[in-house]
Chain A
Amino acid sequence: DAGITQSPRYKITETGRQVTLMCHQTWSHSYMFWYRQDLGHGLRLIYYSAAADITDKGEVPDGYVVSRSKTENFPLTLESATRSQTSVYFCASTPTGSYEQYFGPGTRLTVT
């Protein structure tokens, strides 16, 4: 049971480049989430998805784009990376009707 995986685990990119962070879950959970973790801010919600083709903005969506063409995948794209997007990004998922949210291992992104 692979659970929820993220790739890459580490990424260094330059300002202005487009970068996509991948999230894949094997549980067929309906709900998926993207968070960023920064010192002093805990985790903040970027985007979430209730099902395939249904996505919505969270607390800090500016500069990010998501898609969800398949239930199991929820990629997060930084269209033009900025230094302020240097962070650790976590993907999470929740089954329908559950109150438990499960997290992936995270992707550490550095924008130079």
Chain B
Amino acid sequence: GEDVEQSLFLSVREGDSSVINCTYTDSSSTYLYWYKQEPGAGLQLLTYIFSNMDMKQDQRLTVLLNKKDKHLSLRIADTQTGDSAIYFCAESLYNNAGNMLTFGGGTRLMVKP
């Protein structure tokens, strides 16, 4: 079965780097995702990485994928107070139902000024 796990909480100081970690179990995952959810809002797609890649960088965001250990991380450089939110990782398996996502429980990031 599929299972995606994340730590519940992370606190960092403004200007520091944040690293949010995620582990997954389905080795046949096609893509792995990071979503951001601000209070009272829906999920915003931040970035995603294809399963045959090791790293993807997009401005302040760096995604690292260790497929052997089934470990995914999201690094946010120069973390700002506006980055405070819940971050969800998700894995997908593309099949005839489209892109079915399995989500982790979310990591709440708190950025202290």
Contact = CB atoms under 8 A, between A and B. Distances in A.
Interface of A: 30-31, 33, 35, 40-45, 48, 50, 56, 58, 90, 92, 94, 96, 98-106
Interface stretch (B11-19, B52-60, B65-73, B100-108): B100-108
B62 interface: no
B25 interface: no
Contacts, number: 62
B42 A103 contact: yes
B30 interface: yes
B103 A43 contact: yes
Contacts of A100: 45, 48, 99
Contacts of A98: 99
A99 B94 contact: yes
A40 B105 contact: yes
